[in-house]
Amino acid sequence: MIDQALAKQVLVIINSLIEEAQSMYDCAVDRNFVQVETTARDMLNVLEAIYPIAIQIKEVIYYISAPISCENLLHTINRVLILVRTRSDKATSKIEFELIPILKDFYYDFYFFTSIFGDKEKEKHHYEEEYFLMNANPYIDRSIKNGQYKYDISILILAYNKLDYTKQCIESVLKFTPGYLNYELILIDNGSNDGTSQYFESLSPTKIFTLQKNSLNIMVSAVSRIIEGRYLLSVSNDVIVTENYLDNLINCIESDSKIAMVVPATPNISNLQTISAGYSTLEGMHAFAKANNISDSHRWEERTRLCNPLAFYRSDIFCSSQGIGAFDKYFIFGEFGDDAFALRVRRAGYKMILAKDCYCYHFGSITNKEAHTTENTLEKSRKLFIERYGVDAWSKGFCYDPQLIATLTVKSTGRANILGINSGFGSNPLKIITLHKEAGNEDVGLHLVTDDERYIPDLQALSNDVRYVPIITDGIFNNILFDFILLEGNVERVICESNNFNKLRNMLTRGGTLAICATNNNELQYLNMLNADKTIIEGNYCWLLWYSGRPTGE
């Protein structure tokens, strides 16, 4: 059990360090570097004094970042002292865009894990009243207020070792980012020891953010506080960007104020985010990307979640006090943070788009994933997600089923209506909309019904017609015929016990499709008696399809 009196004392000390850092920054702006040195040395003494306390507290709360925060702060302050004597023009930026953000993250991290985490009542109050303000980016808040951003785009390149990959990544960004854009280049070194820091210094970017000791927790939280662009482009160092990449991402995000996030198609990624491509060299990849990267709104695919080795965000949604929160420390192992972000996007009513008219290259698998298996962090993080949001991030509808989708035929003209019943997060119905859109038909209506009210906040981002019905009957949509009806959960109750099968078939247009997913033997045995037109067997579940306008069993 943490000593709360001690924790409060440490928070007071960290807050005083933030104030001292702000005073140091003011002195640097005024070129009073003598006072900068004096303040820096005082701060070093304080950090060295509280470092043993940080270690002591980490023995009780192992996921707190206090010791590594102290180590990184000591390194940053010593770098400030060196810059004051050698490159005083860079000292001010080091204080503003590295020292102060790390200190603010130190305070928040310490506060969250000593005072909030694990107490459900305090967590509820924190996320409702404190979370957004404590993690807000002051530059973006100021830009929202005055209506003017310093930059069009903040480009973040995130690196942890793998210098050869990092160089390829940065060279591609510098080559293919349009010169007409007003952008800042922020290079992030998350504890590399392979010369990455020296390479970054040689490039003279707008900002450099360096951690001596690797910490995803500190890096993401602190860096979200320093961007100043209207949009944020976050690029992992294992990505190579391509011709027209940024123009197409901008075209997409600016097409709809409800789009919060756009990612390109890339290879070597999960979540079905790639597209078919044939090449064997990087030169061939660039040729393919050049031909592919022609802006086409029909290839913009809304998703319920996205993986993000390269992602384009609206900064006001990502990191302002009015936004949805860039990073949630609740996910103590760093995993499922992207799923949590996607959920916050959906529940705030925003969209995420896979822009298939933008192709970039992702090497993939260059970082160490040992913790997934040796410490079972993936499963632990999955449980944290369920605790935090009440739903399983990997439950039905988190990604569409490619085997089902491959069997469907859509019409290129005329109104199409889709009904999703118990579709979880809704990925399969959403993918059917995409099929119509890619066929040139945007006259599509999506209707969603669920008997599990936990999914209502997520589904409402996908459709204006979402209904929670504890007992699903045929009388829900008496005046609509559907081209596609998908039943993806609780089949025994909806079909086997309620005798809704024929009623659902009668709700199909001529040529329409009823697709039902059986997830256990009882459901499958019952549905097999109904003479499906097509069966798709996949692992632990099975799709059965019926088509209207055909004799049963054809």
Q: Is residue 553 part of a domain?
A: no
Mean pLDDT of 443-452: 96
- Could you tell me the pLDDT band of residue 540, with boundaries at 50, 70 and 90? confident
Cα 289 to Cα 548: distance, rounded to the nearest angstrom: 41
pLDDT at 178 over 60: yes
367 lies in the same domain as 437? no
Q: What is the pLDDT of residues 111-137, one digit of tens each?
A: 999 999 999 999 999 999 999 999 999
Give how far Cα 283 sits from Cα of 175, 242, 266, 287, 425, Å: 14, 11, 16, 6, 39
Number of domains in the chain: 3
* Structural domain of 123: 4-129
Question: What pLDDT was estimated at residue 314?
Answer: 99
186 lies in the same domain as 280? yes
The amino acid sitting at 518 is A
Choose between 372 and 346: higher pLDDT: 346
170 lies in the same domain as 301? yes
SS3 for 23? helix
Q: How many CB atoms lie within 10 A of CB 497?
A: 12
Q: What is the pLDDT of residues 271-314, one digit of tens each?
A: 999 999 999 999 999 999 999 999 999 999 999 999 999 999 99
State phi, psi for 38 to the nearest 5 degrees: -60, -45
- CB of 455 within 8 A of CB of 469? no
Give how far Cα 162 sits from Cα of 195, 304, 370, 414, Å: 10, 31, 17, 52
106 lies in the same domain as 173? no
Where are the alpha helices (H) located in 323-472, listed in sequence order?
337-347, 370-374, 377-389, 402-406, 427-438, 456-459
pLDDT at 549 over 80: no
Mean pLDDT of 33-58: 98
- The secondary element (H helix, E strand) that includes residue 366 is none
123 lies in the same domain as 230? no
Q: Which of 129, 164, 186 is the last residue of a domain?
A: 129
- CB of 478 within 8 A of CB of 503? no
Q: How many CB atoms lie within 10 A of CB 382?
A: 17
- The secondary element (H helix, E strand) that includes residue 536 is strand 534-538
- Look up residue 162 and give its DSSP letter: -
State phi, psi for 281 to the nearest 5 degrees: -135, 165
Give how far Cα 170 sits from Cα of 116, 158, 161, 222, 237, Å: 39, 10, 14, 21, 8
161 lies in the same domain as 262? yes
Show Cβ contacts of residue 327 under 8 Å, excluding neighbours closer than 6 positions: 135, 220, 221, 224, 337, 341
pLDDT at 551 over 60: no
Q: Which of 129, 145, 180 is the last residue of a domain?
A: 129
Q: Is residue 78 part of a domain?
A: yes
234 lies in the same domain as 275? yes
Question: What pLDDT was estimated at residue 98?
Answer: 99
Show Cβ contacts of residue 389 under 8 Å, excluding neighbours closer than 6 positions: 340, 343
What does the buried/exposed string (b/e) look like for 192-205 if buried means 16 or more CB atoms within 10 Å of the residue's CB? beeebbebbeeeeb
354 lies in the same domain as 472? no
Look-up: residue for tokens 């890096």? 219
Q: Is residue 552 part of a domain?
A: no
350 lies in the same domain as 307? yes
Kindly provide the residue ranges of all beta strands, DSSP E only, lying in 9-134, ordered along the sequence. Answer: none
Q: Is residue 182 part of a domain?
A: yes
Q: Is residue 554 part of a domain?
A: no
Q: Which of 129, 160, 176 is the last residue of a domain?
A: 129
- CB of 391 within 8 A of CB of 455? yes
166 lies in the same domain as 79? no
| CATH code assigned at 422 | 3.40.50.150
| CATH code assigned at 270 | 3.90.550.10
How many separate helices (H) and strands (E) can be counted in the chain? 23, 17
Q: What is the pLDDT of residues 90-117, one digit of tens each?
A: 999 999 999 999 999 999 999 999 999 9
Question: What pLDDT was estimated at residue 474?
Answer: 63
Q: Is the dihedral of CA 523, 529, 535, 537 positive or negative?
A: positive
pLDDT at 334 over 90: no
Show Cβ contacts of residue 66 under 8 Å, excluding neighbours closer than 6 positions: 10, 54, 55, 57, 58, 106, 109, 110
Q: Is residue 28 part of a domain?
A: yes
Mean pLDDT of 444-452: 96
The amino acid sitting at 163 is L
pLDDT at 550 over 50: no
- The secondary element (H helix, E strand) that includes residue 280 is none
Mean pLDDT of 162-182: 98
User: What percent of the chain stands above pLDDT 70?
Assistant: 97
**Residue 155 corresponds to which tokens in the numbers above?**
């480009």
Give the pairing of strands 444-450 and 416-421.
Answer: parallel
SS3 for 345? helix
Q: Is residue 397 part of a domain?
A: no
SS3 for 390? coil
Q: Is residue 246 part of a domain?
A: yes
217 lies in the same domain as 123? no
Question: What pLDDT was estimated at residue 374?
Answer: 54
- Residue 546's beta-bridge partner residues? 514
64 lies in the same domain as 44? yes
Please provide the average confidence, as pLDDT, over all residues in the chain: 94
- Could you tell me the pLDDT band of residue 365, with boundaries at 50, 70 and 90? low
Show Cβ contacts of residue 460 under 8 Å, excluding neighbours closer than 6 positions: 349, 466
Q: What is the pLDDT of residues 195-207, one digit of tens each?
A: 999 999 999 999 9
Show Cβ contacts of residue 426 under 8 Å, excluding neighbours closer than 6 positions: 304, 397, 420, 448, 455, 458, 459, 462, 463
- The secondary element (H helix, E strand) that includes residue 310 is strand 310-314
